[in-house]
Copies of this chain bind each other. A is one copy, B any other.
Amino acid sequence: MNIETISWQNNRIRIIDQTKLPGRLQYLYINNLRELWRAIKELKVRGAPALGAAAGLGIYLAVKDSRAKTFGEFSAQLDLAAKYLASSRPTARNLFWGIERVCRVAGKNRNASLPRIKELIFQEALRIIEEDKLSCRRIGELGSALINDRDTVLTVCNAGILATIDYGTALGVIYRAVEKGKRIKVYASETRPLLQGARLTSWELKNKKIPVTLICDNMAATLMQQGKVAKVITGADRIAANGDSANKIGTYSLAVLCAYHNIPFYIAAPASTFDLGKRSGRDIIIEERDPREITGLFFRQPIAPRGVEVYNPAFDVTPHQLITAIITDKGIIRKPCRKNIKRVLK
Contact = CB atoms under 8 A, between A and B. Distances in A.
Interface of A: 22-23, 156, 187, 189-193, 195, 198-199, 202-203, 206, 211-223, 225, 249-250, 252-253, 256-257, 259-260, 294-295, 297, 300-313, 316-317
A199 B253 contact: no
Secondary structure at the A interface, as helix, strand, loop or mixed, is mixed
14 contacts: A192-B217, A193-B216, A198-B303, A199-B303, A203-B304, A206-B305, A215-B310, A216-B217, A218-B218, A218-B250, A219-B313, A222-B249, A223-B311, A257-B257
B198 A253 contact: no
Given A22-B304, A198-B294, A191 B218 contact: yes
A214 B295 contact: yes
B249 A219 contact: yes
Q: Among the interface residues A156, A193, A311, which one has the most CB atoms of the partner chain B within 10 A? A: A311
A192 B190 contact: yes
A191 B294 CA distance: 12
A317 to B, nearest CB: 8
B198 A311 contact: no
B303 A195 contact: yes
Contact of A222 (B220, B253, B300): B253
